[in-house]
Amino acid sequence: MGGKNGAKKGGIELTKRSFRAFAEREDLQSIFVQFENAVNVYYVPTYSDTGKAEIDNIEKSESFGINESGSQLGEQFLAFLKGQKCIWREYQCKDGTGLKTRYTALSDGNEECINISLGGIYKGNNLLPTTISSMHYENETSKKLFDELKKTIRKMSVKTIDGYYICPCAYIKRDNYRFCKIDFKSPKEYDLKFQ
């Protein structure tokens, strides 16, 4: 499921890369501990109600390893090298009481980072993939972060099926899960199949 494509922005060729991995919480912990040991990073949520937010350890996220939406879009973060600045954008949105201010790190100025959409378990037996992507793979820093995390996941995976990396705990319990590539509401024929 890895992909790459290009687009132009201001005459510069932009290259997007992505890959996905099915991983349980324990798999994700091992992956991110190794990644954080190899590269000095920090993470920011893609959206925040409280302003600029960052964490040093992604495993401390409240829903780490749990997919709360039931879709391939799990809790999302951007990963930056420490010392690099995240550019936040403020915007207005409606809630039950009127307009409120929210913040997003999804900004054109954030090119030296990677996107992480954490997958995990949804409602007991649905496993959704973690997606890693770079919107600016042509950027040296973004490429370094993407390649390092992909190398870590590739080393830890026990199998690759249809381009999806399968991590050890998820593989051991494969008979207990639906490997939902898109959404838990999708027909089962769209699930990842093991031979």
Q: Are 158 and 166 contacting, i.e. CB atoms less than 8 angstroms apart?
A: yes
Q: How far apart are CA 70 and CA 39, in angstroms?
A: 30
Phi, psi of 88 (to 5 degrees): -100, 150
Provide CB contacts within 8 A for 62, sequence distance 6+: none
3-state secondary structure of 11: coil
pTM of the model: 0.89
Provide the pLDDT for residue 5. 54
CA atoms within 13 A on the CB side of 157: 19
End-to-end CA distance of the chain: 18
Q: How far apart are CA 28 and CA 21, in angstroms?
A: 10
Each residue's pLDDT tens digit, 59-74: 988 889 888 888 777 7
Comparing CA positions, the residue from 2, 5, 21, 22 lying closest to residue 13 is 5
Q: How far apart are CA 165 and CA 147, in angstroms?
A: 15
Residue linked to tokens 């550019």 = 87
Each residue's pLDDT tens digit, 21-59: 999 999 999 999 999 999 999 999 999 988 899 999 999
Q: How far apart are CA 18 and CA 2, in angstroms?
A: 5
Using 70 as the pLDDT threshold, list the residues of the chain that sit under it. Answer: 1-14
